[in-house]
Chain A
């Protein structure tokens, strides 16, 4: 009833191929964007911006990038944290060494640096797959961690090895307040989500999915594994690199390589699994879930009057993450996104199921 496509006829190819073919989707998206851009900056508290919204958006972007690789192209990577680090340190070096560069240019160039590194470490995917590849990407993770910790040039000879981002500004306007930071990140993430959506439903996205479903068969029908796999690595690393730069510049402000260690890679992989493999929406849902769960775990027992020690909360957090991964893999391998799709199916008929 509420979500009904009846009567929406597509009379031209253009209308059939548009981004959101269903009217309700369009209304929702536009409504939501208006809300996110127009209302949120005024109603959200500083805490919301800093501790929830900004990290959620940045991690969504990284999860989006990883989802292109894992969900769409089927190449499991455990080196995401490393590629984020490449983005963050590239952006840092660009900003420090070329002082008057526009911030957006810095981020795009940082993304490109991550792309190069990503493709380089993606080359083994042509020979190996599955968990062999997963372990091979760990090589990238550990090597990159080491590189930024040890090679002083990358940290501009900082004696402590910790670097801090210069003040953020664009076209002369400073980006300082939490709301400004939020809007900045939101704009970037929306653009990237749009790009991802279009890439994945285009020819290149279909070649990724064919490779994911069965690479030998895909090669037989004329998809070059080389192009498909490496392009997935390139696009994914670009997204991840930009998110790394944002994480360092906008969220952390100053950081050390440990901020991008192997646990970050696992965390992002969990977002993708829980949110939904091969789904743009899933990346956002997964990120939201993983950002909010620890906060909820911290607040809920207290709200219910149960006193848990800090340590116990962390242990429970680990247990819930672990159990949920297994749960989703068994019950709903397509994650939260699939649950949402099911809800939509139901909404078609609701409240008159007959």
Chain B
């Protein structure tokens, strides 16, 4: 029953994309992410700046300006996008995987001459493509909001500021944020495969993120090995990646509950490796269990 053949055919991938495209969830994800971008740029950024720009108590609204104006807004958009994207993509992944068990379609899929690994890989790739398109669209809309807000504030629309990124640099920023979503999405995937349950996948990822934030907070107040232990948790490493997205020494606002002042973060390359280890672990558990288990429903 076990086959190592894992790469899906283009037909399988097309079928997965058809299935995910016809679900309402990717559209809800897009809507929520766009709403988040609007809140960040217009309420947290431009709206606050209008009120604070003449007020020395608020530093003439410099923080608000960096929230909505290009290129600083990219940091906030990607930081918020990583946090909320991880939750929403996790929900999408858990639902797409577990509902196949609920509907019994996983059995139909597995009796059509494709290996179990191919089935899971196709599903993962299908969701990844759909999620990537959705998140990029939402990011694009967020950047659009930022361009409009920057123009309304009569500021130059440019990347050319001290510490500003080049165009390839922006692509790298997007990749860092996207990479930060993957471990959480794969945790949801793993839980949904193992538990055959959307609830387990969704609750599991939310519980993990909640507990991880508490643990990171507690460890952050310690010193020595306890503080160093944060380097083994994905959240700390994701923050290290996103810290590399900062433009200049000052940051803007974000919708992610993170401490922007944190400085003792791992090197981004090391952080990427730790996150990769989590990804491999979650994938290995999901594939091995799915490969060996009886599919009764």
Report whether chain A binds chain B: no
